[in-house]
Structure 1
């Protein structure tokens, strides 16, 4: 049995992930902490009762009582300091999307994982949607077009994670596109992806066209049914990672820098490479975002 700690109840992910974990025979929600940024104290108490979990006053109090932890705070500035404590203690750690709002935080997390060898997982669940999983299974290079909607950072991570996952190689260059809020990314294996972040918000959806081993298309609506289709394999991969049977950390950290590289390209309207010093100038304030955040449910 894997006893999981959940840190942060801000988003709908906490409830959905906890339900999936509680429904499994090999996992349970053991501990909960929430900082009160979004949810009320009554909500947290009810969450703990529903999942028969102990409520902790501080995240680090869980370290000796859980086998894995999920850091789900919507304030991504909390991710690094919380996750590092668990990673250094050898506790397999999940960090929700976006993993970090600065290159310093991404690299600090990467170094901690490499130094301690602790299993690490997280990011967006969208790449695990079945219609996209077949794309990531295609061998060879990809020519990809993907469109998303809403905030190009908080929601844009779904598109950048998807592109990095399907193309299956580290990104090498990002250039701005003249129309819309969009960039084109090239990858080390010769794949390319044009990513547009300002898709329609009426009947919103993530749309993907991939020309790889074959030509495939996918439309993922923001419905509960579509979320369930991606969350099931997403949580299964988390459990495999917590057991030490799977390691996608290299992809996750490269995708995290890709998201920041895209923001640099959009902000400064120039081509960006992983070595570009402009990456260090891009920071997104998680606290400010949290102040205006409203959960999906």
Structure 2
């Protein structure tokens, strides 16, 4: 296996620091970093690079693109993701975009267009490939179909809540057709309808205490409760993603499948604004507001600074 030369773009969250050691353990190199200053002050990239033995601190994305094979984008402002990815897409490099990949339909359409044009691109939530969902599928009797699944987590509706959408899809599979908000009682309750008629349910949003990533799977013969082990998520995600970024394997899931999670979240928000009207994913348009990355990033920065 030829080691990938990986660049890290934006150091906003805890993910870059947690991922770099795993990337190295899996035989690849992190050779460059760039930070746009959304969360951290000037000079943070130098501190990060020194801590993780990364040699190159880039002042621009254009400086990074020629020297890497792949890039990982960690901007907490998801509205920056497409433009952060563009120089690497144009340079023919592989791209991984951390969750949420996009918060509006315009950006989702661009990511899908890149996929159709042959760009090697992936990302999203580590819950898409978590070991708990994979283990459930390995043990499940194909003749015992799913009746329904309830999944959820806490913290917020989208930046963290998107994990629950991915977890539900990892269990139920692709094919989400429409979404209906069931309203808010402490958390936002959401009904998702699959093309084959199955329904799944989510409960996401802030709670007084932290709730883990969970799912209760009901089949015709069994009830199984799954709770994701957070300590195993990053490795599972990187083990699934790095061979694809290196061109040595296909994707664990096509980005068009993964983006169903973001589409479903946008549809849930629209449905809530419409008083619980069912919203089909294919009917979403660029005019639908989605989730504002810049507004979330401003709050995230204040919280990081203890303000």
Q: Same fold (TM over 0.5)?
A: yes
Distance in 2 between the 1:212 and 1:58 partners? 51
Mark the CA change 1:136 to 1:173 in structure 2 (over 3 Å): closer, same or farther.
farther
The offset of 1:233, in angstroms, is 0.7
Runs of 4+ in 1 over 6 A off after TM superposition: none
Give 1:192's aligned residue. 199
Tell me which of 142, 148, 153 is aligned to 2:153.
148
1:186-225 equivalence runs, <5 A:
186-198=193-205, 200-212=207-219, 214-220=222-228
Instruction: Provide the aligned length of Structure 1 versus Structure 2.
Output: 290
Q: Structure 1 residues 160 and 173, CA, compared in 2 at 3 Å: closer, same or farther?
A: same
User: Structure 1 residues 287-296 or 42-51, which shifts more?
Assistant: 287-296
Structure 2 regions of 5+ residues with no counterpart? none
TM-superposition CA deviations, 1:126-163 (whole Å, max 9, x none): 23332222235544545110122121111220111111
Q: Tell me: CA distance 1:277–1:93, structure 2 relative to 1, closer, same or farther (3 Å).
A: closer
CA contact (8 A) 1:129 1:230 kept: yes
Distance 1:30 1:128 in 2: 26
Contact 1:160–1:259 (CA under 8 A) maintained in structure 2: yes
Give the whole-Å Cα distance in 2 for the aligned partners of 1:238 and 1:296: 32
Calculate the TM-score normalised by the size of structure 1: 0.89
CA-to-aligned-CA distance 1:176-229 (integer Å, 9 cap, x gap): 225631111011233321111146331422221012485321234xxxxx4321
Worse-matched range after superposition: 253-262 or 271-280: 271-280
Partner of 2:239: 236
Alpha-carbon distance in structure 2 between the residues aligned to 1:165 and 1:187: 13
What is the match of residue 112 of structure 1? 114
2:244 paired with 1:246: no
CA distance in 2, matches of 1:92, 1:278: 28
Q: Which residue number in structure 2 is paired with residue 256 of structure 1?
A: 262
CA distance in 1, matches of 2:67, 2:52: 16
* Equivalent position SS for 1:118: coil
Coordinate RMSD, CA, aligned: 2.2
- Structure 1: stretches of 5+ with no match in the other structure: 221-225
C-alpha deviation, 1:103, in angstroms = 0.5
